[in-house]
Amino acid sequence: MLEAPFDPVKLAVPFFILAILLEIGLGRLRLAKAEYEARDTLASLAMGLLRGVPALLTAGLVFAATVWAWEHRVFTVPFTAWWGWVAIFFLEDLTYYAFHRLSHERRFWWAAHVNHHSSQHYNLSTALRQTWTGSLVGTWILWLPLAFLGFSPAQIFIQQGISLVYQFWIHTEAVGRMPAWFEAVFNTPSHHRVHHARNPRYLDRNYAGILIIWDKLFGTFQAELDAEKPRYGLIRNLGSFNILTVAFHEWIDIGRDLASARSLREVRGYLFGPPGWSPDGSRDTSKSLRARWAARQAAASTPAE
Amino acid sequence: MRSLLGDDFPGAQIDRIWLAGDGSAALARSGARALYLFRLGDSWVVRDLAWTEAAGAPVRDGRLHLRLPGVSPRLARPVLAGWPPEPA
């Protein structure tokens, strides 16, 4: 099957809107923790509303590549087979983990993803602060193996949508912790608050889409600690609500860095090094921030002589 | 303000801090660095730059014209009480 019979994201849009309104209402009534700032929320909503426009530039290419891969498939997974949906649930989620990790750990892809993390608030509207340049940086290639395996383009599209819809509700402070068994297996508001936090302890952790098991398996899991409240946003937060700044600021920074590069090594580092990479190591990366934090922790726990 | 700066620059020694009268910004000296803190909506944003750049920034009509690193904003124009600092 080439064309999906339904789009989970489109179907969920009314739910998104109602849930945001409910969260705002509960926050105002102090019945739940929900902090909204009008301009921040508007920026998030605008990023979400307009995300489809740049994606149109590559939609044809992505679809054609996926169809081509499917036409050269190794197996055929029937669209209606229950086991096919079980298999794609796990495989797509693993693919999402890889995509998400790459999107944080290498600057070229971080530049497309950073806008999702640029709010200092953490509420349901933050979930809609979606990328405008994500489809241009080629990460859709990561999903092609699913088509080669035999999952139809429609099935891949639907499962991607299901994952995106699932990830909406975890962008909230209104939900504390889910039951222990759920927290152990699934990505939850608590786990994802850690992911959006800029505290050094929490940096580059919890890349999960639906299942948190991948982070536990690959060593990137960090539980939310009651003693360390997440502080949201970026290492150096944006000083603007302008959506063009939100969408393109890291690309502009990359352009400036490339203009100052003096060697191929520097070009490679600025483009594909970790975010914050610099030739002389003078800028902060997640790794250096975590290392300094760990050193401070160690010093604080060492008794003075 | 010191606490907010401490979040972003943990362990940084704050030598002196200049506050905007309306509480919307602060500029701190931390050795050879200047740490600039300003309000954005209900949140705070920080930037750091060389102290020499901050100390040498022009003041026009009582406003410091501070060139900031990063994409946005490129220029801050706070009115800081007690600025400019007296030469050492």
pLDDT band at B28 (very low <50, low <70, confident <90, very high): very high
Helix/strand/coil percentages in chain B, nearest 5: 15, 40, 45
- Distance from C-alpha of B50 to C-alpha of A287, rounded to nearest angstrom: 23
Q: Report the alpha-carbon distance of residue A207 to residue A101 in Å, rounded.
A: 6
Mutation target for B interface from A35, A234, A237, A290: give the one with most B CBs within 10 A.
Answer: A237
What pLDDT, on a 0 to 100 scale, did the predictor assign at position B7? 86
List, as ranges, residues 105-124 from A with C-beta within 8 Å of B: 120-121
Amino acid at A5: P
| Contact (Cβ atoms closer than 8 angstroms) between residue A233 and residue A118 | yes
Residue B42 C-alpha, separation from nearest chain A C-alpha, in angstroms? 7
pLDDT above 90: percentage of residues in chain A: 93
Q: Is the pLDDT of residue A3 over 90?
A: no
A-B interface: how many C-beta pairs under 8 angstroms?
50
DSSP helix/strand/coil, A147: helix
Interface test with B, best of A238, A245, A282 (most B CBs within 10 A): A238
Q: What is the pLDDT of residues A79-123, one digit of tens each?
A: 999 999 999 999 999 999 999 999 999 999 999 999 999 999 999
Say if the Cβ atoms of B41 and A35 lie within 8 Å: no
Choice between B47 and B71, residue whose per-residue pLDDT is larger: B47
For residue A304, pLDDT beyond 70: no
Which residues in A lie closer than 8 A to residue B46 (C-beta atoms)?
Answer: 236-237
Residue type, A83: W
pLDDT, position B2:
82
HSE of B27, CA atoms in CB hemisphere, 13 A: 29
pLDDT at residue A1, as a whole number = 72
The Cα-based distances of A233 to A25, A209, A289 in angstroms read 23, 19, 15
Tell if the CB–CB gap between A242 and B72 is shorter than 8 Å: yes
Question: How many beta carbons lie within 10 A of that of residue B7, not counting itself?
Answer: 13
Report the distance separating Cα A134 and Cα A110, nearest Å: 9
Cβ–Cβ gap B71/A252 under 8 Å: yes
Mean pLDDT of chain A: 96
pTM for the model stands at: 0.94
Buried b (16+ CB within 10 A) or exposed e, A181-216: eebeebbbbbbbbbbbbbbbbbbbbbbbbbbbbbbe
How confident is the model over A155-186, as pLDDT tens digits? Answer: 999 999 999 999 999 999 999 999 999 999 99
Please report, as a single letter, which amino acid is at residue A221: F
**Contacting residues of B for A35, CB less than 8 Å apart:** 42
Q: Which of A246, A46, A274, A120 is nearest to B71 (CA)?
A: A246
| pLDDT at res. A2 | 78
d(CA A157, CA A88): 11
Inform me whether the C-beta atom of residue A239 falls under 8 Å from chain B C-beta atoms: yes
The three-class DSSP label of residue A87 is helix
pLDDT at site A305: 58
- Chain A contact set for B3 (CB, 8 A): none
Indicate the DSSP class of residue A50: H
